[in-house]
Amino acid sequence: MISFVATPIGNLKDITLRALDTLRAADVVFCEDTRHTLKLLTAYGIKKPLRSCHKYNEREAAEKILSASREGKEVAVVSDAGMPVISDPGSAVCRYLREAGEPYTVVPGASAFVCALVLSAMPADRFSFVGFLPEKAGERRALLEEYKSHRETLVFHSAPQDVERDIADMYRVFGERKACAVREITKIHEESRAFLLSEGLDGEKRGEYVLLVEGARAENPLNLLTAREHVKKYMDEGLDKKEALKRAAKDRGVSKSELYKETIDL
């Protein structure tokens, strides 16, 4: 049998009893990084042959996994942390096995984005998991545009060196929204910080991040007006220009300065 096994995302004690049983029973373990998995297995006194299965050799690894299974071997597939396939290698392997008609199972466990939803205190009854954003700016903005009107909480993964870039692009596409950055989940320096997209996230970026962004608000009919008409509407109702700008900016999810230059003559 082939088992996709979830591993700890930080704290080694978060591995399940079933995961340990599966790894101990395995004849071979396919892993994202053999050095990383070796540390996990060593911590629990497990010695197994390790084979690579990363994004650059998934097809080749899938063939070896299938072959080992059909030889009657017990095969475990793991990533460096969390559930294989979810923002990690493994998806191509699953497709290959399905096409080959080979059964496989899953051994559940830790998942960073699920933990982050809890730590963020943001709505979790409905959410969209987007994962890592593309490297190319055009593709990144295009993907964000697809989620701009979604009403549910949006969940992203972000490497520390990409956090500022990702948040800046989210603000450009989504406008002002509440957000939360969660990092170092289950570790000593676990942190969950609420912020506004316009503010960004200050401080040195360390560890892998899960960024959560509130969903789109119900469309305000005033947003169908031009920016100038929107501000003037509030002014016609008796508000001074400063307050009208503030209200309109909040409605449209943009900064007051963006609206000011379009309403200088008011």
Given a cut of 70, whether residue 27 has pLDDT beyond it is yes
Whole-number pLDDT of residue 248: 86
pLDDT bin (cut points 50, 70, 90) of residue 265 is confident
What average pLDDT does the segment 90-117 reach?
96
* Percentage with pLDDT > 90 across the chain: 76
What's the fold here for domain 113-213? 3.30.950
What average pLDDT does the segment 219-248 reach?
83
pLDDT bin (cut points 50, 70, 90) of residue 131 is very high
Q: State the DSSP string of 186-249.
A: TSTT-EEEEEETTT---S---S-EEEEEPPPPPPPGGGGS-HHHHHHHHHHTT--HHHHHHHHH
CATH number of the domain at 2-110, please? Answer: 3.40.1010.10
Contact between 77 and 53 (Cβ < 8 Å): yes
Given a cut of 90, whether residue 141 has pLDDT beyond it is yes
Beta strands in 47-175 (DSSP E): 50-52, 75-78, 104-107, 127-132, 153-158
- Selected residue with higher pLDDT from 175 and 140: 140
Whole-number pLDDT of residue 219: 67
Whole-number pLDDT of residue 187: 94
pLDDT digits (tens, 9 = 90+) for 28-86: 999 999 999 999 999 999 999 999 999 899 999 999 999 999 999 999 999 999 999 99
Least confident of 107-116, 121-130, 151-160, 233-242: 233-242
Mean pLDDT of the chain: 93
H or E segment and range at residue 29: strand 28-31
Domain ranges of the chain: 2-110, 113-213, 221-260
Whole-number pLDDT of residue 196: 94
Given a cut of 90, whether residue 135 has pLDDT beyond it is yes
Given a cut of 90, whether residue 256 has pLDDT beyond it is no
What span, in angstroms and rounded, lies between the C-alpha atoms of 35 and 257?
A: 51
What average pLDDT does the segment 202-222 reach?
87
